[in-house]
Structure 1
Amino acid sequence: MNQKNCDFSPLKQQLIKGLENISFDVNEGIKTLKNDRYCVLGKLEDLKNKFEKVETMAASFYLNCYLSPFTDKYLDISTCIQHLSNQRHGALIVIERKDELDPLIRAGTPIGATLTHSLLESIFYPGNPLHDGAVLVRANQIFSAANILPLSNKGLGEKKLGTRHRSALGLTEQSDALVLVVSEETGKVSFAADGRIYPIITTSSLV
């Protein structure tokens, strides 16, 4: 599989613009702070919101960067999670990278089919007997479905995490896999890598 140039221009340009806007606002905040007659709390709250939006945009950009060297189907995957998010269909999608995942996963049902967004979406359709487990993607194939992943102990304190998110963390704590999670409660999408979870945007024009 060919290594791709991590460009994704529309999203990259929006990310650059977002960072430039934050840089401008920070400088304006410093000027305001130097003037003792004004309070900067409102500006700081606005900056916090902008930082969160840029962080989400950056995660979306780097998600495609992480996917593209290991599968040619990253646009199908992006389209799939957009549709699943819109319909609030829960999903757990594992993209195998360099580490072999067989020793870490309780194997489910073999699929062995070329990955398309429609096939991937159909697996997670409510009522499908395969929709509760994780799909394993190897290169350009849906290798298997209804796989069980190791659970992380994170999220057992004050901030509770659902089973899908704990599964995503658990696998990425033990391997270099990348795991996509769609919440059926909120429709929000995130990805796990290196034992951490990052929110991503799912606007189709940006993926």
Structure 2
Amino acid sequence: MESQDCDFSPLKLKVKEGLQQISNELIHNINSIDNEDHCLLSHFEQIKERFLRIEALAAFFYLNCYLSSYTEKYMDISICVEHLSKKRHGALIVVERKDPLDAILHSGIPIGATLTHSLLESLFYPGNPLHDGAVLIKNNMIVSATNVLPLSTSSSGGKKLGTRHRSALGLTERSDALVIVVSEETGKCSFALNGNLYPMTLEAP
């Protein structure tokens, strides 16, 4: 599939505005540091928290950029993930890019249907026999469900990760696939790419 022009202007603008606000605060703190009566420690914590929020928003922006190059249904995926997150339905969604994945993942049950957000969401509904394992997406199609991914053996910076997150990292350590994870426990979302995990804030452009 040909790469599409990545232009999610409203979302990009929010990331830029957030970074500019943080930049302004840093400049203000630099100018205030000579005032010994003004302690900056609490400001550092606030800036760190705001930066993490901007980082998560930027991750959602880049997720849509990456997806738009390999599927025209990238907004269906984003809508599905947003719904799953709100309902705290765990999910593992694999988007095949250039590298073939047949030899890396343990194939599940064939689906062979055009991707829609409602169909994708229904596959992860608790109690659905297909909700365990990963769904594989290629171009605009849902190829299969209940796929088993290789687990990562890395320590991931010492963080304790669940099976879904270790599976996402494991596949992206071995291929250029993009893997989206929704936590069943917290509803938080992240995506894995090139062996790295990026938390996201879901906010549609």
> One fold, TM greater than 0.5?
yes
Are 1:128 and 2:132 counterparts? no
CA distance in 1, matches of 2:3, 2:153: 35
Note the alpha carbon deviations across 1:128-159, whole angstroms, 9 max, x for none: 11111100000000001000000001348852
Task: State the secondary structure of the residue aligned to 1:164.
Answer: helix
Residue equivalent to 2:189: 189
CA change 1:28–1:157 in 2 (3 A) is closer
Taking only the aligned residue pairs, the percentage that are identical comes to: 60
How far 1:37 sits from its partner (Å)? 2.3
In angstroms, what is the RMSD of aligned CA positions? 1.3
CA distance in 1, matches of 2:132, 2:33: 52
Are 1:42 and 2:42 counterparts? yes
The answer to whether the Cα contact below 8 Å between 1:155 and 1:166 also exists between their aligned partners in 2 is no
The answer to whether the Cα contact below 8 Å between 1:168 and 1:179 also exists between their aligned partners in 2 is yes
How far 1:2 sits from its partner (Å)? 3.6
The answer to whether the Cα contact below 8 Å between 1:150 and 1:171 also exists between their aligned partners in 2 is yes
Structure 2: runs of 5+ lacking an equivalent: none
1:30-69 residue pairs with structure 2 within 5 A?
30-69=30-69
Residue equivalent to 1:104: 104
Equivalent residue pairs, number = 205
Residue equivalent to 2:15: 15
Task: State the secondary structure of the residue aligned to 2:23.
Answer: helix
1:46-195 residue pairs with structure 2 within 5 A?
46-155=46-155, 158-195=158-195
Task: State the secondary structure of the residue aligned to 1:66.
Answer: helix
Task: State the secondary structure of the residue aligned to 1:3.
Answer: coil
The answer to whether the Cα contact below 8 Å between 2:57 and 2:202 also exists between their aligned partners in 1 is no
The residue identity in structure 2 corresponding to 1:123 is L
CA distance in 1, matches of 2:37, 2:133: 58
Note the alpha carbon deviations across 1:85-142, whole angstroms, 9 max, x for none: 0110000000000001111000000111000000000100001111111000000000
Task: State the secondary structure of the residue aligned to 2:33.
Answer: helix
CA distance in 1, matches of 2:41, 2:156: 33
Structure 1: runs of 5+ lacking an equivalent: none
Structure 1 stretches of 4+ moved >6 Å = none
Structure-1-length-normalised TM-score: 0.96
Structure-2-length-normalised TM-score: 0.97
Task: State the secondary structure of the residue aligned to 1:34.
Answer: coil
The answer to whether the Cα contact below 8 Å between 1:180 and 1:189 also exists between their aligned partners in 2 is yes
The answer to whether the Cα contact below 8 Å between 2:109 and 2:146 also exists between their aligned partners in 1 is yes
CA distance in 1, matches of 2:157, 2:193: 21
